[in-house]
Amino acid sequence: AGGRAGKGFAAQGNLLAGPQVVEAMVETFLQEERVPFPERLLLALKAGEEAGGDKRGKQSAALLVVGEGKGYGGLWDRYMDLRADDHPEPVEELFRLLSLHRLLFERPKERRPLAPEEVRWLQGVLRSLGLYAGEVHGEFDEATERAFLALIGMENLEERYQGGPEVDEATLSYLKRRYPWS
């Protein structure tokens, strides 16, 4: 067991491989001050794991971030509550879950218009899913938008889409990985 606390942080654990685990966590947390807080916590956790971690091995990891009114819709204080239970690489799984959480729950800051080739790809995908019956022509028309709204709803991306032919890069990348079409 061991721990260390300082201004704005505390790192501790029991059944650790040694004091180097806590030191690696603290050092990483302090060095990564420009990184968003949840990622900063995970980087510290990863550093501790790489320094030896729990001497019993890997099994689970969790990330809980709270802040007044930071929860979904500002209705509660839990901003993030992610868990990787009984996983062979729990910290890496938390990074994946954090990425998914950001995709599903954060509003993008920047959007850009879809290029005609991206609209063609989108129309092809929407057509293959049975959401769009129009032609694949590359113009973002009303029928394309209605079908796109249906896809956005299916993927739980409502927080990210504000209407029209504009979308953010994270949403577009996610959809292109999920729905390859040529």
Question: What are the tens digits of pLDDT across the range 14-60?
Answer: 899 999 999 999 999 999 999 999 999 999 999 999 999 999 999 99
128 vs 105: CA distance, rounded Å: 27
Domain 2-105 grouped into CATH 3.90.550.10: no
**Confidence bin at 181 (pLDDT 50/70/90):** confident
1 vs 39: CA distance, rounded Å: 24
pLDDT at 120: 98
- pTM, 2 dp: 0.81
Q: Please state, for a pLDDT cut of 70, what percent of the chain lies above it.
A: 99
Give the type of residue at 83: R
| Burial class, 32, CB count within 10 angstroms (exposed 0-12 / middle 13-18 / buried 19+) | middle
**Confidence bin at 149 (pLDDT 50/70/90):** very high
Mean pLDDT of 79-107: 94
Mean pLDDT of 137-161: 96
Judged by DSSP in three states, 78 sits in strand
| Burial class, 179, CB count within 10 angstroms (exposed 0-12 / middle 13-18 / buried 19+) | middle
Residue 148 gets the label, from left (phi > 0), alpha (psi -120 to 50) or beta, of alpha
pLDDT at 74: 81
Backbone angles phi, psi at 3, to 5 degrees: -170, 165
pLDDT at 55: 93
Reference 106, options 5, 12, 174; nearest CA is: 174
